[in-house]
A and B are shown apart, each in its own frame.
Chain A
Amino acid sequence: MTGPARLSDPKRFAEVVKQYTGRLLATARRLTDSEADAHDCVQEAFLLAYRSRSQFEGRAKISSWLHRILVNVALERVRKRSRRPEEALEDLQPTFDERGCRVESQGPAPAEAQVLLERAETRTAVRDAIAHLPEGHREIVLIRDIEGKTTADAARELSITQSAARVRLHRARAALKRLLEPAMGVAGDKEDNKR
């Protein structure tokens, strides 16, 4: 049974719902603050998937397609609920002195990602930081770093040149690094503390 055939009629789609609700719910629980929110996200993701099922390309796995929709739904909810503005990436880029030497906060080496993510505060910080990137930067982080695709894939999907994709990715990653430093135990400078 091919992907599109499974999704074209409601009965097939119902099977997809039964098959993938558990997986999506597990992810939604990591990305929301309550069980009710997790349920709402999964429901909204399936509804969106159902409405756009004609756009599903048989080349992708159904699970990956649904996962992407769910992540976008969860991040969208974060943005709608918070009053935090979109991040100004300009202010989050690394700085260098006139000789091209880096100015970097000192601090201990960060713990392993798995260990850091055991704390709910860290999971929230990571989710919120990605949610508040400007749209084009968020998209490229999702394609490159979350889905693990190449820069060429990302450029094609976003209809931008590869060099634009590279610049965008680097700025987004540098910003995330700065935004997540408190979660890694790196003390910010005075200006950071005002943020």
Chain B
Amino acid sequence: MMTCKDVERFLDDYLDGSLPFATRIRFEIHVRMCAECRPYIARYRRAIELGHKLLAEPPEGPASEAVPQELIDVILKSIDES
């Protein structure tokens, strides 16, 4: 039987989908039965998602926000002067 400590050690590989099959099954059995690991993993995943959703490059698409021309002018001027 895996311990919570083992689960911790395998967690990133589990999330990457790279755990060997037999290990993954043992991991999942532990998590299904463990009232401590389930909330832990839910929060661990959520923390990763929060960082990703806040900081990742937005998908390409038509720019929906108006770009202030003054800002572009200021940037071009500062580059000119640099």
Contact = CB atoms under 8 A, between A and B. Distances in A.
Given A22-B67, A42-B75, A50-B79, A94 B50 contact: no
B40 A104 contact: yes
A99 B3 contact: yes
Interface of B is mostly: helix
Given A13-B79, A67-B57, A94-B8, A102 B34 contact: yes
Interface string A56-97: 000000011001000100000000000000000000001010
Interface of B: 3-8, 11-12, 34, 36-37, 39-40, 42-44, 46-58, 60, 63-68, 71-72, 74-76, 78-80, 82
Contacts of A148: 52, 56
Contact of A173 (B36, B37, B48, B78): B48
A18 B57 contact: no
Contacts of A104: 36-37, 39-40
